[in-house]
A and B are shown apart, each in its own frame.
Chain A
Amino acid sequence: GENVEQHPSTLSVQEGDSAVIKCTYSDSASNYFPWYKQELGKRPQLIIDIRSNVGEKKDQRIAVTLNKTAKHFSLHITETQPEDSAVYFCAATDILTGGGNKLTFGTGTQLKVEL
C-alpha cells in the first residue's frame, strides 16, 4: 500500500516569510496529491491539490509542486500570515481505480507564523 512521509513536523516562520513543507510517497500508481489544513480542534479542509499530469499549481499565496520521478511533492506558502498557523497534511491516492478517494495522509506539519 501507499506510504507518505512528511517533513518537517514543526515549522516556525516570521510573518511575511515563506514556508515549505515536503512529502514523499511510495506508490507509483498514485496520481492525486491534496493538501489539507487543520486548525486546532477543527476539521481538515482542502487548500490545494495537484494531479500527476501537471508539475505545478498555484492559488494566490499557495503553490504545490510535484516531481513524479522522485515521488515527492511540496507545499509552498508565500507571504505567510498569522492565520496560516495550523497543521498541514499532505496525502496521496490513485483517484482513477474506482476505489473512491482513499487518501493516505502524512503525519502533519505544525506551522507557526510568528509576528
Chain B
Amino acid sequence: GAGVSQSPRYKVAKRGQDVALRCDPISGHVSLFWYQQALGQGPEFLTYFQNEAQLDKSGLPSDRFFAERPEGSVSTLKIQRTQQEDSAVYLCASSGKRGTNTGELFFGEGSRLTVL
C-alpha cells in the first residue's frame, strides 16, 4: 500500500501475556520509528532503525520491550509479560527514501494495546 500499515489495530491482552505489533513502512523508506502514545499525551519515542540497524533504543521503557527489523523493511515491536501501564497506542512511522530527507515522518494508524 501507499502508507504505513500497522497490525493489529486493536489488541487486548491479559496481564502477563506477550504481544507482537507489526509495522509495514512505506516502501523504500530507510528510517523507521516506534512511538508510544498514552491517552491524552503526545507520542513518546521508543526506538529507531536505519535499515536493519537499531541505532537508538533509548526510549524503550524496560527490557520487556524489544524491537526488530531484520530485513530493513517490516518491523515488529514485542512486549513481554505485559503490564497495565503498557496500555497505549503504539505508533510506527517511517521516513527518508534513500537520497532524500524532507524531515517528515509518515505515521501508521497505530496499534491500540489494552492490558487487563
A residues with a Cβ closer than 8 A to B are 6, 32, 34, 36, 42-46, 49, 51, 89, 91, 93, 95, 99-108
Q: By the criterion of a CB under 8 Å from any partner CB, how many residues of chain B are at the interface?
A: 24
Provide the bound-state CA to CA distance between A103 and B50, in Å.
15
**Is the pair A108, B55 in contact by a Cβ cutoff of 8 Å?**
no
Sample 30 A-B pairs with CB under 8 A, ordered by A number: A34-B103, A34-B104, A43-B4, A43-B108, A44-B105, A46-B104, A46-B105, A49-B103, A49-B104, A51-B103, A89-B42, A91-B42, A95-B101, A99-B55, A100-B33, A100-B55, A100-B96, A101-B31, A101-B33, A101-B95, A101-B96, A101-B104, A101-B105, A102-B33, A105-B42, A105-B44, A106-B42, A107-B41, A107-B42, A108-B41
The minimal Cβ–Cβ distance linking A31 to chain B, given in whole angstroms, is 10
Give me the interface of B with A, judged by CB distance under 8 Å: 4, 31, 33, 40-45, 48, 50, 55-56, 91, 95-96, 101, 103-105, 107-110
Given the known interface contacts A34-B104, A101-B101, the answer about A43 and B48 at a Cβ–Cβ threshold of 8 Å is no
Known contacts A91-B42, A100-B33, A101-B95, then 7 further A-B pairs from the complex at CB < 8 Å, ordered by chain A residue: A51-B103, A100-B55, A101-B96, A101-B101, A101-B104, A102-B56, A105-B43
Q: Chain A residues with Cβ under 8 A from B104's Cβ?
A: 34, 46, 49, 101
**For B110, what are the chain A residues with a Cβ–Cβ distance below 8 Å?**
43
B95's closest neighbor in chain A, by CB?
A: A101
Q: In the complex the two chains form, is B42's CB within 8 Å of A102's CB?
A: no
**How many angstroms from the CA of A91 to the CA of B93 in the assembled complex?**
14
Query: Nearest CB to that of A45 among chain B residues?
Result: B107
In the bound assembly, the distance between CA atoms of A6 and B40 in angstroms comes to 13
Report the separation of the CA atoms of residues A89 and B105 in the bound assembly, to the nearest whole angstrom: 13
Return chain A residues, CB-CB under 8 Å to B42.
6, 89, 91, 105-108
In the complex, which residues of chain B have a beta carbon less than 8 angstroms from the beta carbon of A89? 42-43
- Chain A: CB-nearest residue to B3: A43
